[in-house]
Chains A and B, each alone.
Chain A
Amino acid sequence: MKKEQRNGIWIGIGLVLLCHAILIIAMLEMFPIYLLIGFVQVVYVVPICLLGLKNVGIAQGALIAGGVTFLLNSVACFGMGVFS
């Protein structure tokens, strides 16, 4: 695997995490968006994946970050609650 693609994976993960942070901070006063971020993230994960047309690692990283976010979003194995 080329170094550029390996770095792309971390760039993809980083971009998704950055978008999560921006969205959560922007919506903090209006709506607890972090409870639904697993669904809402599609809006920016798909465009980030399109960057992967040039560097496939970015798409891989974005998809892995999106999948893990979706899994983590339902915090408990049943039920919700993030921070006390």
Chain B
Amino acid sequence: MTFPFYLHLGPLTIHPHLLFESLAYFIGFRVYLWTRNKERIPMQQGMWVIVGATLGAAFGSKLLAWLESPALTLAHWNDPFYLMGGKTIVGGLLGGLIGVELMKKIIGWTRSTGDDFALPLIVGMSLGRIGCFLTGLDDHTHGSPTTWITGIDFGDGVLRHPTQLYEIAFLWLLAGGLLLLRHRPLPEGARFQLFMFGYLLFRLCADFIKPTPHEYWIFNNIQLAALAGLLYYGRLISRWRRPTPAEKETVHA
């Protein structure tokens, strides 16, 4: 097997990342339409939430990629080819979250919408990571050299951690965990919060075995964003058990 693993469809030779990323968006969207709770949010508002998520993800994924090496980005600020290259899933997730929250404010929707996104995101991200794996070294998502049995030779004779495959395995473990919790009486939005907390924690750890520049003390740009996300979701999760003022009054009454 050689990397990138180009796919041949008739006269076309398609880059694996383009194909699997396109599949990720399309199938992720279909899974969302299929699994979403139809009573939680009407379709029209739901579509505005999707618009917020898409635009936020586009902006966030690019912004975080530019922060991988701020000096390099500044040096190429007027090179559109450089600026269009690169994106990050963590930036996409956090940007998507901000986009959804802004859109909910605009359309006046106050209820949580995140739970419907957990499974579609797991499906989409798993598909996308297949494309990253098949792209090989060009994708810069592989891990550091290793002697582990899991090591993969991406074409340069060096065995490296296939962090893309680790991520797929982790995402499905996370999906299993969320499935086990489906009958638990959790607050609205809790499943999405657990998904984000779990994924960001994984990325914080996994990026220590990636050969990307760690320009912020011992962290890289993605780990720093993951830390910020962990603080945000950790705070939200820690509030689950606290009784609301109304509940407190009931207890004291």
B83 to chain A: closest residue by CB: A39
B:82-99 near A, CB below 8 Å: 84-89, 92
> Does A30 interact with chain B (Cβ within 8 Å)?
no
Contact assessment for A60 and B85 in the assembled complex, using a CB-CB cutoff below 8 Å: no
Chain A interface mostly: helix
B:28-56 near A, CB below 8 Å: 42-44, 47-48, 50-51, 54-55
Contact assessment for A9 and B47 in the assembled complex, using a CB-CB cutoff below 8 Å: yes
Per-position 1/0 for A40-84, Cβ under 8 A of B = 000000000000000011001001101110111111111111111
Contact count A vs B, C-beta below 8 Å: 111
- Cross-interface CB contact of A82 among B18, B43, B138, B141, cutoff 8 Å: B18
A:6-26 near B, CB below 8 Å: 6, 9
Known contacts being A36-B84, A78-B85, is A71 close to B139, with CB within 8 Å?
no
Query: Which chain A positions have C-beta within 8 A of B50?
Result: 60, 64
Task: Give Cα A64–Cα B29 distance, bound, in whole angstroms.
Answer: 11
Query: Which chain A positions have C-beta within 8 A of B112?
Result: none
Contact assessment for B54 and A56 in the assembled complex, using a CB-CB cutoff below 8 Å: no
Contact assessment for A67 and B84 in the assembled complex, using a CB-CB cutoff below 8 Å: no
Task: Give Cα A57–Cα B45 distance, bound, in whole angstroms.
Answer: 11
B:67-119 near A, CB below 8 Å: 68, 80-81, 84-89, 92
Contact assessment for A81 and B57 in the assembled complex, using a CB-CB cutoff below 8 Å: no
Contact assessment for B18 and A35 in the assembled complex, using a CB-CB cutoff below 8 Å: no
Task: Give Cα A79–Cα B48 distance, bound, in whole angstroms.
Answer: 31
Query: Which chain B positions have C-beta within 8 A of A74?
Result: 62, 65, 84-87
Q: How far is the CB of B57 from chain A (nearest CB, A)?
A: 7
Contact assessment for B140 and A79 in the assembled complex, using a CB-CB cutoff below 8 Å: yes
Contact assessment for A71 and B51 in the assembled complex, using a CB-CB cutoff below 8 Å: no
Supply 13 further A-B pairs (C-beta < 8 A) apart from A74-B85, A77-B86: A1-B44, A36-B84, A63-B55, A64-B50, A67-B51, A71-B21, A74-B62, A76-B140, A78-B65, A78-B138, A79-B86, A79-B140, A80-B81
Binding site for A on B (CB under 8 A): 4, 6, 12-15, 17-18, 21-22, 25, 42-44, 47-48, 50-51, 54-55, 57-58, 61-62, 65, 68, 80-81, 84-89, 92, 132, 135, 138-141
